[in-house]
Amino acid sequence: MTEFIIGEDFPKNQFEFEKRFSTEQACRDYLAAIKWPDGFHCRKCGHQAYWISARGLYICTLCESPNSLTAGTVMHGTKKPLTYWFKAMWWFTTRKSGVNAINLKDLLGLGSYQTAWLWLHKLRDCTIRQNRERLSGTVEADEFVIGGQQPGKRGRGANGKTIVVAAVEKEGKQLGRIRLQVVPDCSGDVLEQSVKTNVMPGSTVATDGWKGYNFLDKGSYTHVQVVAAHTAKKESVLPGVHLVASLVKRLILGTFQGRFDPKHLQSYLDEYVFRFNRRKSRNIGKKFMRMVQQVAASTKATYNQIKAGTFSFSLLAN
């Protein structure tokens, strides 16, 4: 019988992780406890008694349906042991900076770059928690562009560039949580949708003078328009978002040498937000446990969906 974990049970450091999750059985038990926090429930009939098959399936004793720990999640159909996935999840959550597929391929000794690339995208797609809380309090919002050098006209699709809306909580001079969203243009409709998705009504939103933010004057937000004096540098107007924008650009430059496929940018931004918003958390084991929870609750993603960059976008819409 699997011992189900009650409450918060996670390895506190690298040593504990390696000691605890060295066997397939240990990973399976942990994943089962996360998947069924109130004990096993057959997905078909809800019955609570089971036996475990040689292939690690939880077979319902009443209707005999096989219940898989990985089916229907991003691990669907995996041929690799769970110990590999656990190692990848631990590594992904405990790294401080960005990660790339070559790092993961070397870490796990995977035969193909493509597998490492796919796994990494799947883990990135698990960094967004469904029903996560929106930003609140005082929030700076602005757009910035990644890729392409020439300045383009605002409010239209930028040539060859990807536009990102950044929203940053301000706690005095300190930065709180952030959100980053790839958008097609800087029109009022697009910015309104982005702010409403990412910022709680009732918050104070600081923006520059761009007319695309005029919707903030009539809605449920308090709008603070920060207009620069002729001599002021743009960075001093909305310092939080400009700092975040420069950090993101540095990440893209450092992790991917500036080469990235725009259709995967949202996925890289999600990973960045995940790390940034947890930067003050010292408890690496807890971050790992949350990742396992996200992976256990994730939905199946095909190679084609990920390749096309449509998977994380579908999550974002929720």
Residues at the contact surface with Zn ion, assessed by CB under 5 A: 42, 44-45, 47, 60, 62-63, 65
Minimum CB distance to Zn ion smaller for 36 or for 86: 36
- Please, what is the minimum distance in Å from the beta carbon of residue 46 to Zn ion? 7
For residue 225 the two structure tokens come to: 């328009």
For 127, residues 6+ apart whose C-beta sits below 8 A from its C-beta are: 270, 271, 273, 274, 291, 294
Considering the complex, state which of residue 67 and residue 194 has its C-beta at the smaller distance from Zn ion. 67
Quote the CA–CA distance of 222 and 245 in Å, as a whole number.
23
Q: Shortest distance, CB of residue 296 to Zn ion, whole angstroms?
A: 19
- Smallest gap from residue 53 Cβ to Zn ion (A): 14
| Comparison of 45 and 102: residue with beta carbon closer to Zn ion | 45
C-beta closer to Zn ion: residue 44 or 234: 44
Output the smallest distance, CB 42 to Zn ion, in A: 3
122: left (phi over 0), alpha (psi -120 to 50) or beta: alpha
Please state the closest distance from residue 49 (CB atom) to Zn ion, in A.
9
Q: Which residues pair with 207 in a beta bridge?
A: 225
Give CA separation, 293 vs 28, 53, 74, 76, 230, in Å: 13, 23, 12, 15, 50
CA neighbor of 61 nearest in space, from 76, 83, 44? 44
Q: What's the gap between Cα 222 and its chain centre?
A: 28
List alpha helices for 58-156, DSSP H: 82-94, 101-108, 113-125
Kindly state the smallest distance separating residue 65's Cβ from Zn ion, in Å. 5
Which is nearer to Zn ion, 41 or 263 (by Cβ)? 41
Q: How far apart are CA 283 and CA 271, in angstroms?
A: 18
Of 65 and 103, CB closest to Zn ion: 65
Looking at the DSSP bridge assignments, the partners of residue 223 are: 205
263: exposed, middle or buried (Cβ count in 10 Å: 0-12, 13-18, 19+): middle
In whole angstroms, the minimum distance from the beta carbon of 44 to Zn ion comes to 5
User: Based on CB atoms, which residue is closest to Zn ion, 50 or 90?
Assistant: 50
